[in-house]
Amino acid sequence: MKKFLSANEAVAHAAAQAGCVVASAYPGTPSTEILENIAKFKDTIRCEWAVNEKVAVETAVGASMAGARAITAMKHVGLNVAMDPLMTFTYVGPLGGFVLVSADDPGMHSSQNEQDNRNLAKFARALLLEPADSQEAYDMTLKAFELSEKFQVPVILRLTTRTSHSASLVELGDFKPAPHPLLPYKKNIAKNIPVPMFARQHRVNAQKRTEAMEKEANRSKFNKVVKPAKGVKVSAKAKGLGIITSAVAYQYVREIFPDCQILKLGWTNPLPKALVSKFAKSVKKLLVVEELDPFLEEQIKAMGIKVLAHKTELNMHELNADRIQNLRHEILGDVPKAKVAKPVEGLPTRPPVLCAGCGHRGVFYVLHKLGATVTGDIGCYTLGAFPPLDAMDSTICMGASIGNAAGMRKAGLKGRICAVLGDSTFFHSGITGILSALYNGTPVTTVVLDNRITAMTGHQDNPGTGKTLAGDPAPVTEIGDIAKACGYKNVVKVSADDLGGLEKTLSTAMDSGEPWLVIAYAPCRIAAKLTKEGLCEVDSAKCKACGACFKMGCPAMTRGKEIRPGAFQMVIDANQCAGCKQCGQVCKFGAIKRIR
């Protein structure tokens, strides 16, 4: 059976076919659809959104220890959160096959950095597979469970945005999803409790395991020499040039260097050194093309193999065929430089904005008005950093807002300071932050923008939504209850659409010299399907074109009539307005009315 699948979907199908029993993940672009598609096989795979990547990995580790095949998936930065269990599980080793999908984001389409997690796979002494398309994502995932059991090693499957999100035909074997039989669990403290006396032996075993894996990598069908296709004319300058490449970079190399010998690597840690040496000897000149860090190149050079140097910069941002053409232009000089299409001049730019009626908008409007230094976090609300809201000073990683605010306060920064994060981020890694601030007596005001969904990654459920990934009812965890249980005395819930209430609460909190937790509540308009809930209108007879409402930056607001030079009345686009009434609260002239 053939299906048109993205690599994320292909991984899900392969997990089902491999008889995976447990799947646990935390959403993050470009990995999110892996678990969402695994959930379609919920009759055979128990799948769940964990509250963060560390818990997701720990859940999969537990399942593997119990003898079940398990998979976990995350975006690249998620692996930073999960490194602690991984770094020790790699010593202990799986029983049931354990596969961790890391979806990296070269070019930072939707991330704060573009770290190359192949380095983390090597660091963790894990087995690393790098598919170049959906078929390989499928084949490698299937094989990954076997390899994990054979070598008792965590297997990391490294996808990237391009592979995760582009679709191609996948030949799926005929299969009926069925759980793989559990491998028998036996209590074994020497294996599963790495106190130093056991861990030292694990370390030695990990070394031996790496050597055994390398031998198999040299024979693996995922590492192969690809010769020019029949009938392809070899350019005189390309004769004798060999290229080592992996993952999606292979697709660009194949397109731009169709007349060269290619060593296409799919199993890249441990590096199949014998195969690399043999290939290097078979060619006159060797080039390495890979996306992001010189992960392969540095190891190949360390083997004493000469690799062609080039000025064309490749180890940063996402690769594409144009960049590889420029490389060929530099090295062989038999193709022109790629023409870079320029954007059409004069078109207005369209910066990303919070949706019309988004509850986050009012909070940032008020924080800006109060002149607060705002340590931000990761979610839709990061958009509060941009004009006209202009109300965020920092964003580092999920959960960092509270620690950042505490650090600023401890450093002696004067004035109002406020940490802002979303509900999913609070559950992910905010709880420890508020606890630490309270314990250390740091007067931090934390605002949780509680829209009851993990919005930015496409509206996934979380412990506050009352629903699991499978759609079953779940207990609703109240953020205020957590704060109170931590010992917070000042816990207040305000409507995020009530600008007056927000201003009063936030100024009191920030000026109090005490730790506060403020919950600004408004459901995400998109997730709760409230985009047509109401409608506001501007009375042009009353609008004085003062411009105050434009400072909210709602995309439903447009410029109307110019009644004085440079002064425009505001007009509300009825197709976009969600009727949140936030703008009406800033108009001193009473010109904005809710009409529905």
Ligand X SMILES: Cc1ncc(C[n+]2csc(CCOP(=O)(O)OP(=O)(O)O)c2C)c(N)n1
Among 28, 357, 464, 553, binds ligand SF4 (CB under 6 A): 357
CA-CA distance, 433 to 404, in Å (whole number)? 9
Considering the rule CB under 6 A, would residue 496 count as an interface residue with ligand SF4?
Answer: no
Which helix (H) or strand (E) covers residue 287, if one does? Answer: strand 285-289
Alpha-carbon distance of 307 to 456, in angstroms, equals 42
- Closest among 304, 147, 126, 321 to 221, alpha carbons compared: 147
Smallest distance from ligand SF4 to CB 426, Å? 14
Q: Applying CB under 6 A, does 553 fall inside the site for ligand SF4?
A: no
CB of 264 to ligand SF4, least distance (A): 40
Residue range at the interface with ligand SF4 (CB under 6 A); choices 8-16, 70-78, 502-510, 570-578: 570-578
Give kind and range of the element (H or E) at residue 294.
Answer: none
Give the shortest CB-30-to-ligand X separation in angstroms: 10
536 binds, options ligand SF4, ligand X, none, Cβ within 5 to 8 A by partner type? ligand SF4
User: Least distance (Å) from ligand SF4 to the CB of residue 527?
Assistant: 6
In the complex, what is the shortest distance from the CB of residue 55 to ligand X, in angstroms, rounded to a whole number? 12
The dihedrals phi and psi of 594, each to the nearest 5 degrees, come to -85, 125
Q: What are phi and psi of 479, to 5 degrees?
A: -60, -40
Asked whether position 591 contacts ligand SF4 by CB under 6 A, the answer is yes
Q: Which helix (H) or strand (E) holds 169?
A: strand 167-171
Three-state DSSP state, 305: coil
Say which entry of ligand X, ligand SF4, none residue 556 contacts (CB below 5 to 8 A, set by partner kind): ligand SF4
List the interface residues with ligand SF4, window 96-125 (CB under 6 A): none
| Residues contacting 242, CB < 8 A, separation 6+ | 260, 261, 262, 263, 279, 280, 282, 283, 284, 285, 286, 287
Question: With CB cut-offs between 5 and 8 Å by kind, which of ligand SF4, ligand X, none does residue 289 bind?
Answer: none
- Within positions 439 to 478, which residues make up the interface with ligand SF4, using CB under 6 A? 451, 455
- In the region spanning residues 368 to 407, those forming contacts with ligand SF4, defined by CB under 6 A, are 380
Q: Candidates 74-82, 218-226, 252-260, 352-360 — which segment interacts with ligand SF4 by CB under 6 A?
A: 352-360
Instruction: Output the DSSP codes for 410-473.
Output: HHT--S-EEEEEEHHHIIIIIHHHHHHHHHTT---EEEEEE-SSBTTTT-B--TTTSB-TTS-B
Distance of CA 186 to the CA centre of its chain: 36
78 makes contact, choosing from ligand SF4, ligand X, none, with CB < 5 to 8 Å by partner type, with ligand X
Name which of ligand SF4, ligand X, none residue 554 binds, using a CB cut-off of 5 to 8 Å depending on partner kind: ligand SF4
For ligand SF4, which residue of 177, 294, 407, 547 counts as binding (CB under 6 A)? 547
Binds 300, which of ligand X, ligand SF4, none (CB < 5 to 8 A, cut-off by type)?
Answer: none
Q: Are 369 and 503 in contact (CB under 8 A)?
A: yes
Residues 213-252 that bind ligand SF4 (CB under 6 A): none
In terms of CB distance, is 253 or 556 closer to ligand SF4? 556
End-to-end Cα spacing for the chain: 52
- Residue 360 binds ligand SF4 (CB under 6 A): yes
| Tally of CA atoms within 13 A in the half-sphere of 219 that contains its CB | 4
Q: Of 545, 553, 561, 563, which one interacts with ligand SF4 (CB under 6 A)?
A: 545
Stretch that binds ligand SF4, among 275-283, 289-297, 506-514, 573-581 (CB under 6 A): 573-581
As measured in angstroms, the least distance from the Cβ of 544 to ligand SF4 is 4
CB 8 within 8 A of CB 80: no
Residues near ligand SF4 (CB under 6 A), total: 40
Dihedral pair phi/psi, residue 392, rounded to 5°? -145, 140
Residues engaged in binding ligand X (CB under 6 A): 26-28, 53, 75, 77-78, 81, 378-381, 398, 422-425, 449, 451, 453-457
Angle at 373 between CA 371 and CA 374, to 5 degrees: 115
Binder of residue 357, out of ligand SF4, ligand X, none (CB less than 5 to 8 A by kind): ligand SF4
Compute the least distance from the CB of residue 510 to ligand SF4, in Å.
Answer: 24
Q: 279 touches which of ligand SF4, ligand X, none (CB within 5 to 8 A by kind)?
A: none
Q: Which of 12, 354, 469, 518 binds ligand SF4 (CB under 6 A)?
A: 354
Q: Which does 486 bind (CB under 5 to 8 A by kind): ligand SF4, ligand X, none?
A: none
**Closer Cβ to ligand X, 220 or 465, answer by number:** 465
Contact 364, 496 (CB under 8 A): no
583 touching ligand SF4, by CB under 6 A: yes
How many of the other CB atoms lie within 10 Å of CB of 194? Answer: 18
- We find the least distance from the C-beta atom of residue 540 to ligand SF4, in angstroms, to be 9
Task: Tell me which residue of 582, 592, 397 sits closest to 503, measured CA to CA.
Answer: 582
Stretch that binds ligand SF4, among 42-50, 109-117, 274-282, 584-592 (CB under 6 A): 584-592
* Shortest CB 317 distance to ligand X, Å: 19
Beta-bridge partners for 241: 285
> How many whole angstroms separate alpha carbon 12 and alpha carbon 34?
6
Are the CB atoms for 279 and 323 separated by under 8 Å?
no
In angstroms, what is the minimal distance from the CB of 349 to ligand SF4?
A: 19
How many other CB atoms are found less than 10 A from the CB of residue 60?
31
Reference 102, options 153, 34, 44; nearest CA is: 34
Partner touching 592 among ligand SF4, ligand X, none, CB below 5 to 8 Å by kind: ligand SF4
Please classify residue 281 by burial: count the beta carbons closer than 10 Å to its beta carbon, then call 0-12 exposed, 13-18 middle and 19+ buried: exposed
Residues that bind ligand SF4 (CB under 6 A): 354-358, 360, 380, 451, 455, 524-526, 536, 538, 543-549, 552, 554, 556-557, 569-570, 572, 577-583, 586-587, 589, 591-592
